[in-house]
């Protein structure tokens, strides 16, 4: 893997939208992981340009974004103990494929493939539906983590101020799969079935056959179907044996599933419980709960894969292919190519700067567009809110994320 | 309600403005009163509210809070003490004003320590819950608007539209019940506990909460506000403490006892000294039994123990002469010689009988006073064993007194719940072989008196006639609650005086 020194960093703008008029940017914590696993926290900067310079100087492997604090994080040692507090932060969710190892047949741990990637698609759909319809959230940015999962950043003004208790409550509301390695049956439903569960099942159902029955083939062999049958509750044991004897007679998982479903009648929800255990999203509460918790920055480079952590386009979620995401090397190649083709626009421009504007000619462009749309939507909402409040007087405030809303490109990360 | 002609004039004249400061019978006590009141009113308001809160406490432990018994008894107390209860606004001004002022006075008295704050918060919350639930739907809605809790009831149309969702998400709500009850639209942050457990329907960032769960939300809101206010009050306390008129009263309120003070004994002289050992086992509450045993074992007691036990003995009928003899005989067996006793200890015994110095006749300590003030340290034997002893040690002591294991468990449970006086009541029941103590204990001398009554046949042993047929519940019709005596005088300054004296005679 190539080391790359100069970063093709384009015009200023931090990755996340900061409300105009406040010195949010100076109060935002960044953390870096440097070579040899040196981790530095409480980095803060006076301006995006300052951040850019620092990045070029130290070339971090990983860049994480934290909370907006009461004081500049870089000066936290000069503040009274207890006075330095995280004030707000986006509500974040982290969904990681390794949490599904017990139900994946194709891969395990850090590996992913196109077959199991559907789990992430399902997770995004289930969670996003709940965030919008149930929790009333508007500004959600879903991001590919760069290796084996997805993140969500909820940026609504009110939500950024949520307490840890409220964040934890949201995760609990969204949790259906409970229990660790020792728990065999991780989903237990009883009547009455809460609308959240019902609606989530509706989403899962759309993917279940293709993903679980065909792709994962969860009823494809006695070993596999025993695992599934083990999830049918004890008191409905009478179902297990006939199924065990009938399964071999069927051709494939799809047929066997039909057989299984046929045996279910309310109040038995074993079929739903199985679907949910195999497909329902698994969240890490610790990531979401803490206001000060740091999370990988969108558009940063994943140190282990070289892939850029790109925003997901919810309109084309089902077509997303993690293996087609640009890597730092592929981007550099593209930029070099673009540089050779293009003319010198300005005599006085230095090379890196020209490269800077060329990111639009790389395969990163569509992802940047998704991000820009997200920002535009936030800006629109904010203007609407200001209009409502200030009546006629229209505030022409410059969004703090700079002209054009162009994002950062953390091209400088070294990876080995 | 009766009005004197003067009051009636005042009423008609001010009917308009009167209602404004107190538009509801209930309030969050967010604005302190700003009028002038007399010290007498200050004191009587505070004492009445304290009585009310104690009733709330007792009833809350003895009855299920939503039961009819609880409501009936609490209502009676409201009327008796003239606090606002189900009256029209015009008629209720005085009661509401009293409610308002008395709450703030007690805040001053009860903000001073963690224990006091916790107690006050708990009783005020129970009080609030009761009053909130007694409001009619309409008044409840109005009240919520008044305190700016944005819980709007959803329209019938919306409710019908969401009926299915509401019924499947709210435990215990069939479609019929959904149609019957009011549902409120509440912000997520106000309904955290319901929403985290998926026990409520949520949509667009709002929770749809049935009336029965609204009170929990409102209560939580009230608790947060009051808790903050108490902390703030505590910080501004020093300036209030400098007011000489108020501080003694406030002090005494937080230690006060509202019942007979056992200072004048009809039984004076009826006890003989050689009975005391036996009495300590049969009729003394645990605290005094413990003190007596320590005195016999060590031939000495420190100041705190001498005060608590000495005054108790006075209360059970020991004359001054008896007391002097009692203490002297015991102390001489220890390290004190007769001369030293006469010079020092005798003086303070006479002092506590009102025969020396300021000649105040000191009153025996109530349970409240013993529990709340002057906690014992190493080498002390005073205090309340249920409050101050390590549970393990308490257990051992009860075992040595041959209390049956199931009884000990019950006592320890009550102790864990911080119901010290109830634990002592249970001790009474176990040592007197009773199902139900039949009275509400708040004074060691009361314990003794009741015990003696029982043992000497002054009262028949009878099973409690429970109103609801539930043998777990206790009756709260006791003499002490209906006492009209003024609260016992504070002994704190007097104690300090005595202590100073004692130091003069170097304690061992």
Strand partners, B184: B153, B209
- Residue A212: burial class (beta carbons within 10 Å; 0-12, 13-18, 19+): buried
Mean pLDDT, chain B, integer: 79
Residue A132 reports pLDDT greater than 50 = yes
Question: Which of A86, A87, A149 has the alpha carbon at shortest distance from A112?
Answer: A149
pLDDT at B279: 93
pLDDT at A357: 57
> Which residues on chain A are in Cβ contact (under 8 Å) with B198?
173, 194, 196-197
CA dist., res. B220 & res. B218, Å (int): 5
How many C-beta atoms surround the C-beta of residue A106 within 10 A? Answer: 14
Report the relative pairing of strands A86-88 and A39-43 from DSSP bridges.
Answer: unpaired
Answer whether B202 sits within 8 Å of A162, measured CB to CB: no
Closest chain B residue to the Cα of A165, Cα to Cα? B192
Spatial contact of B147 and B177, defined as CB atoms under 8 Å apart = no
Across A28-54, average pLDDT: 92
Closest chain A residue to the Cα of B197, Cα to Cα? A173
Across A266-288, average pLDDT: 92
How does pLDDT run across A47-71, given as a tens digit for each residue? 888 998 999 899 898 999 999 998 9
Spatial contact of A358 and A339, defined as CB atoms under 8 Å apart = yes
Helix A118-129 to helix A195-208 angle, to the nearest 10 degrees? 150
Q: How confident is the model at residue A400 (pLDDT cuts 50, 70, 90)?
A: very low
pLDDT at B10: 45
The annotation places the binding site of B at: 287, 367, 384, 424
Residue of B189, B197, B200, B207 to mutate, testing the A interface (most A Cβ within 10 Å of its Cβ): B189
With residue B74 as reference, give the H or E element that holds it: helix B68-81
Answer whether B202 sits within 8 Å of A163, measured CB to CB: no
First to last CA, chain A: 6
Mean pLDDT, chain A, integer: 83
By Cβ distance, the residue of A165, A173, A195 closest to B168 is A195
- Residues with Cβ within 8 Å of A201's Cβ and at least 6 positions away in sequence, in order, are A272, A275, A276
- DSSP letters of A59-98? --SEEEEEEEESS-GGGGGGSPTTT--EEE--EEEEEEGG
The pTM of this model reads 0.63
State how far residue A191 is from chain B, nearest Cα, in angstroms: 8
CA dist., res. B82 & res. B274, Å (int): 49
pLDDT at B73: 84
Residue A14 reports pLDDT greater than 80 = no
How does pLDDT run across A214-263, given as a tens digit for each residue? 999 999 999 999 999 999 887 666 778 888 889 999 999 999 999 998 88
B502: left (phi over 0), alpha (psi -120 to 50) or beta: alpha
Spatial contact of A215 and A118, defined as CB atoms under 8 Å apart = yes
How does pLDDT run across A285-321, given as a tens digit for each residue? 999 999 999 999 999 999 989 999 999 999 999 999 9
If one compares B278 and A110, the residue with the highest pLDDT of the two is B278
Answer whether A192 sits within 8 Å of B195, measured CB to CB: no
How does pLDDT run across A207-226, given as a tens digit for each residue? 999 999 999 999 999 999 99
DSSP state of A308: B
By Cβ distance, the residue of A137, A168, A194 closest to B198 is A194
CA dist., res. A387 & res. B59, Å (int): 55
Domain extents in chain A? 19-88, 376-415
Question: Which of A90, A85, A43, A95 has the alpha carbon at shortest distance from A64?
Answer: A43
Answer whether B167 sits within 8 Å of A172, measured CB to CB: no
> Which residues on chain A are in Cβ contact (under 8 Å) with B175?
none
R_g of chain B, CA atoms, integer Å = 27
- Residues with Cβ within 8 Å of A178's Cβ and at least 6 positions away in sequence, in order, are A186, A187
Give SS3 for A41.
strand
pLDDT at B153: 84
pLDDT at A212: 94
> Which position has the token pair 């009153």?
B363
Answer whether A166 sits within 8 Å of B201, measured CB to CB: no
Tokens of B71: 């409501």
Cis peptide before B53 (omega within 30 of 0): no
ipTM score above 0.95:
no
H helical segments located in A265-392: 270-279, 285-289, 328-341, 351-357, 365-390
Tokens of B300: 């000495």
Of all residues in chain A, what percent carry a pLDDT higher than 70? 82
Answer whether B195 sits within 8 Å of A173, measured CB to CB: yes
Strand partners, A30: A43, A65
Tokens of B327: 């203490």
- Residues with Cβ within 8 Å of A87's Cβ and at least 6 positions away in sequence, in order, are A27, A67, A68, A69, A70, A161
Residue A144 reports pLDDT greater than 60 = yes
> Which position has the token pair 């009766």?
B2
CA dist., res. B97 & res. B84, Å (int): 9
Spatial contact of B448 and B284, defined as CB atoms under 8 Å apart = yes
pLDDT at B360: 66
Q: Please give the backbone phi and psi of residue A365, each rounded to the nearest 5 degrees, phi first.
A: -50, -50
Among chain B, residues having any CB pair with chain A shorter than 8 Å are 165, 167-169, 171, 188-189, 192-193, 195-198, 201-206
Closest chain B residue to the Cα of A192, Cα to Cα? B168
> Which residues on chain A are in Cβ contact (under 8 Å) with B188?
135, 166, 169
CA dist., res. B207 & res. B219, Å (int): 17
Q: What is the mean pLDDT of each run of 10 residues along chain B (508 residues)?
A: 43 47 84 87 88 82 76 86 75 87 91 80 90 83 77 88 93 90 88 91 95 83 86 77 76 64 64 92 95 95 93 91 93 88 86 76 85 88 94 93 93 90 92 83 90 74 32 31 32 43 37
First to last CA, chain B: 63
How does pLDDT run across A61-102, given as a tens digit for each residue? 899 999 999 899 999 999 876 788 899 999 999 999 999 999
């Amino acid at each position: 893997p190539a080391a790359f020194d100069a970063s093709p960093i384009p015009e200023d703008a931090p990755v996340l939208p900061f409300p105009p008029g406040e010195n949010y940017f100076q109060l935002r914590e960044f953390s870096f992981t440097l070579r040899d696993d040196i981790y530095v926290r409480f980095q803060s900067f006076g301006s995006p340009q300052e951040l850019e310079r620092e990045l070029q100087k130290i070339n971090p492997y990983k860049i994480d974004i934290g909370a907006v604090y009461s004081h500049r994080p870089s000066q936290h040692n000069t503040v009274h103990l207890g006075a330095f507090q995280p004030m707000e932060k986006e509500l974040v969710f982290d969904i990681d494929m390794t949490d599904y190892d017990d139900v994946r047949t194709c891969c395990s741990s850090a590996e992913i493939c196109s077959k199991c990637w559907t789990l992430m698609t399902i997770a995004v759909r289930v969670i996003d539906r709940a965030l919008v319809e149930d929790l009333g959230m508007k500004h959600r940015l879903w991001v590919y983590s760069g290796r084996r999962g997805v993140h969500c950043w909820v940026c609504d003004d009110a939500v950024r101020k949520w307490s840890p208790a409220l964040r934890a409550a949201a995760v609990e509301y969204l949790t259906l799969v409970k229990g660790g390695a020792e728990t065999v049956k991780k989903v237990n439903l009883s009547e009455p079935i809460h609308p959240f569960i019902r609606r989530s099942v509706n989403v899962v159902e759309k993917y279940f056959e293709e993903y679980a029955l065909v792709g994962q083939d969860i009823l494809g062999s006695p070993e596999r179907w025993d695992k599934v049958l083990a999830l049918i509750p004890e008191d409905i044991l009478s179902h297990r044996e006939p199924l065990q004897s009938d399964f071999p007679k069927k051709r494939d998982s799809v047929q066997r599933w039909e057989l299984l479903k046929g045996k279910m009648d309310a109040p038995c929800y074993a079929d739903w419980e199985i679907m949910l255990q195999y497909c329902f999203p698994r969240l890490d509460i610790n990531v979401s709960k803490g206001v000060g918790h740091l999370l990988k920055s969108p558009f940063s480079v994943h140190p282990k894969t070289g892939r850029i952590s790109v925003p997901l386009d919810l309109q084309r979620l089902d077509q997303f292919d993690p293996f087609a995401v640009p890597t730092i090397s592929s981007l550099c190649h593209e930029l070099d190519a673009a540089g050779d083709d293009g003319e010198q626009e300005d005599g006085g421009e230095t090379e890196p700067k020209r490269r800077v504007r060329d990111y639009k000619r790389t395969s990163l462009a569509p992802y940047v567009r998704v991000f820009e749309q997200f920002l535009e939507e936030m800006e629109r909402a904010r203007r609407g809110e200001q209009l409502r409040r200030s009546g006629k007087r229209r505030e022409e405030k410059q969004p703090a994320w700079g002209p054009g809303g162009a994002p950062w490109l953390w091209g400088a990360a070294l990876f080995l | 309600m009766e009005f004197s002609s003067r009051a009636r004039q005042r009423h008609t004249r001010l009917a308009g403005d009167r209602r404004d400061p107190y538009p509801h019978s209930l309030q969050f006590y967010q604005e302190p009163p700003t009028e002038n009141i007399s010290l007498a009113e200050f004191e009587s308001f505070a004492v009445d509210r304290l009585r009310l809160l104690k009733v709330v406490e007792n009833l809350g432990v003895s009855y299920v809070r939503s039961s009819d018994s609880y409501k009936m008894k609490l209502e009676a107390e409201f009327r008796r003490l003239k606090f606002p209860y189900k009256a029209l606004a015009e008629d209720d001004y005085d009661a509401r004003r009293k409610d308002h002022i008395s709450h703030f006075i007690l805040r001053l008295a009860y903000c001073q320590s963690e224990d006091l704050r916790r107690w006050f918060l708990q009783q005020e919350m129970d009080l609030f819950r009761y009053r909130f639930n007694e409001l009619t739907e309409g008044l409840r809605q109005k009240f919520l608007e008044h305190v700016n809790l944005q819980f709007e009831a959803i329209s019938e149309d919306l409710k019908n539209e969401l009926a299915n969702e509401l019924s499947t998400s709210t435990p215990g709500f069939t479609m019929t019940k959904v149609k019957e009850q009011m549902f409120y639209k509440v912000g997520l942050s106000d309904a955290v506990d319901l929403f985290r457990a998926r026990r409520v329907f949520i949509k667009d960032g709002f929770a749809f909460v049935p009336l029965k769960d609204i009170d929990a939300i409102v209560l939580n809101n009230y608790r947060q506000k009051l808790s903050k206010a108490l902390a703030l009050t505590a910080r501004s306390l020093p300036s209030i403490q400098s007011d000489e008129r108020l501080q003694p009263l406030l002090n005494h309120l937080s230690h006060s006892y509202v019942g007979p003070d056992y200072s004048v004994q009809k039984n004076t002289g009826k006890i003989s000294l050689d009975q005391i050992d036996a009495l300590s086992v049969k009729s003394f509450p645990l605290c005094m039994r413990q003190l007596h045993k320590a005195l016999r074992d060590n031939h000495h007691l420190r100041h705190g123990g001498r005060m608590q036990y000495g005054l108790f003995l006075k209360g059970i009928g020991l004359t001054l002469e008896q007391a002097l003899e009692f203490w002297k005989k015991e102390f001489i067996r220890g390290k004190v010689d007769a001369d030293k006793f006469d010079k020092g200890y005798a003086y303070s015994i006479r002092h506590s009988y009102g025969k020396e110095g300021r000649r105040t006749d000191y009153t025996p300590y109530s349970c409240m006073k013993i529990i709340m003030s002057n906690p014992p340290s190493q080498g002390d034997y005073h205090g309340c064993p249920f409050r101050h002893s390590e549970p393990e040690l308490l257990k051992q002591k009860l075992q040595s007194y041959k209390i049956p294991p199931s009884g000990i468990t019950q006592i320890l449970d009550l102790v864990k719940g911080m119901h010290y006086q109830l634990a002592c009541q249970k001790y009474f029941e176990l040592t007197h072989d009773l199902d139900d103590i039949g009275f509400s204990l708040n004074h060691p001398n009361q314990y003794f008196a009741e015990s003696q009554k029982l043992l000497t046949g002054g009262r028949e042993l009878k099973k409690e006639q429970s109103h609801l047929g539930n043998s777990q519940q206790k009756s709260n019709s006791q003499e002490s609650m209906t006492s009209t005596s003024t609260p016992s005088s504070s002994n704190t300054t007097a104690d300090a005086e005595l202590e100073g004296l004692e130091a003069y005679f170097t304690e061992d």
